[in-house]
């Protein structure tokens, strides 16, 4: 039944395309915003280097992976190599330094899962989270950004999916739904799986970039300017892809046995990863393998209640894409 349903694409799907592209364009941050982010980063660098001359700051997350919508907060990572470093002490010291320089709402959250300092810059209005030595996040940010350079349909699809997830309240890890990072990985994997493929698997190609971080080897092909035509045999449009993405997560994905893996560009089995039973709080009800920390399931936050909410939302979205006369409005209606 499902297979047949999935092949019956609506006849006006191309008409929808213009509307989806319009939504995408409206979400892209303007150049001025990027300039302000750079200004804030430069200010932070100046302050940090006074105390720790060897330290470096890196942008990561949506402000640097090219999946950030306008008016996003920025994520910054302070990289500091100090053998006997106490993260809490550094964070408290950092908060001190920033407080005395007119930044607002400076707060050190030393007990969070990822300890951070939060602040707001009154000059640019930008809020910012600073973490320490989270180098894997800086590297996975590069991987996402490199994928985005290969085919612009990735950015279009991910913006629509993130916008949908925020509108529908399913982008809240503390409520058991998925992070933006997880949604972007779902989009990359989905485009790797189209036939013809729209994205390659960079980690399976000859490595032109390689770093070892916390004993994890991160290696992939990063000369993406050579891959600009990779997806050109596939002519699917953004509306078709949004339709197929939600159909896949509503009716096509095997939740009982499958793990989606951007690292291998394929579906792998839960069995192979020993993700078949509940261990502690990890239930593996929807499995999304982190491309570098391969023991991390980004679906681990999902519990037996939120999986129903999530799958209900995938089904709602798939139905709307199939039957609703005005999907570009209905899809994003607040829940």
Rule CB under 5 A: is residue 291 a binding residue for Mg ion? no
Site for ligand CTP in 67-86 (CB under 6 A): 67-68, 72, 75
**CB-based contact 2:244 (threshold 8 Å):** no
Residue 110 binds what, of ligand CTP, Mg ion, none (CB under 5 to 8 Å, by partner type)?
none
Q: Which helix (H) or strand (E) holds 285?
A: none
Beta carbon nearer to Mg ion, 37 or 62: 62
Q: Which helix (H) or strand (E) holds 109?
A: strand 104-109
- Binding ligand CTP by CB under 6 A: which of 33, 41, 65, 90? 65
* CA distance linking residue 177 with residue 260, whole number of Å: 17
Site for ligand CTP in 181-200 (CB under 6 A): 181
What x-and-dash track marks residues 61-80 binding Mg ion by CB under 5 A?
xx------------------
Helix axes 13-27, 238-247, angle to 10 degrees: 100
Beta carbon nearer to ligand CTP, 53 or 280: 280
- Chain center to CA of 98: 28
What minimum distance in Å lies between the beta carbon of 262 and ligand CTP? 13
DSSP per residue, 186-236? HHHHHHHHSSS-SS--GGGSPPSEEEEETTEEEEE---GGGGTTGGGG---
What minimum distance in Å lies between the beta carbon of 71 and Mg ion? 12
Residue with tokens 């799986």: 193
- Per CB under 6 A, which region of 79-87, 137-145, 225-233, 254-262 contacts ligand CTP? 137-145
* CA distance linking residue 84 with residue 30, whole number of Å: 42
User: Which residues here bind Mg ion, judged by CB under 5 A?
Assistant: 61-62
User: Which residues here bind ligand CTP, judged by CB under 6 A?
Assistant: 60-62, 65, 67-68, 72, 75, 137, 140-141, 179-181, 298
């Amino acid at each position: 039944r499902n297979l047949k349903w999935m092949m019956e694409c609506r006849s006006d799907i191309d008409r929808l395309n213009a509307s989806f592209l319009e939504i995408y364009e409206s979400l892209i941050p303007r150049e001025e915003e990027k300039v302000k982010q750079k200004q804030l980063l430069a200010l932070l660098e100046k302050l940090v280097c006074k105390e720790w001359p060897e330290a470096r700051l890196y942008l990561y997350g949506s402000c640097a992976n090219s999946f950030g919508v306008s008016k996003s907060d920025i994520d910054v990572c302070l990289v500091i190599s100090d053998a006997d470093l106490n993260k809490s002490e550094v964070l408290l010291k950092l908060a001190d330094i920033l407080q005395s320089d007119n930044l607002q709402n400076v707060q050190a959250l030393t007990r969070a899962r990822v300890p951070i300092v939060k602040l707001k810059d009154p000059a640019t209005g930008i809020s910012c989270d600073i973490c320490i030595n989270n180098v894997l996040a800086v590297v996975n940010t590069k991987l996402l950004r490199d994928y985005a350079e290969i085919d612009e349909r990735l950015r279009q699809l991910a913006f629509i999916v993130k916008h949908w997830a925020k509108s529908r309240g399913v982008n809240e890890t503390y409520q058991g739904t998925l992070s933006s990072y997880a949604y972007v990985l779902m989009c990359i994997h989905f485009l790797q799986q189209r036939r013809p493929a729209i994205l390659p698997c960079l980690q399976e190609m000859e490595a032109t970039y390689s770093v070892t971080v916390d004993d994890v080897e991160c290696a992939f092909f990063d000369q993406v300017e050579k891959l600009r035509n990779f997806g050109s045999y596939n002519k699917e449009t953004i509306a078709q892809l949004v339709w197929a993405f939600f159909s896949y997560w509503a009716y096509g994905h095997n939740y009982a046995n499958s793990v989606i893996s951007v690292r291998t560009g394929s579906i792998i089995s839960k069995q192979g990863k020993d993700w078949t039973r509940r261990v502690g709080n990890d239930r593996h009800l929807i499995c999304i393998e982190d491309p570098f920390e391969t023991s991390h399931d980004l679906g681990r936050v999902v519990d037996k209640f939120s999986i129903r909410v999530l799958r209900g939302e995938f089904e709602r979205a798939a139905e709307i894409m199939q039957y609703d006369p005005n999907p570009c409005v209905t899809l994003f209606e607040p829940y």
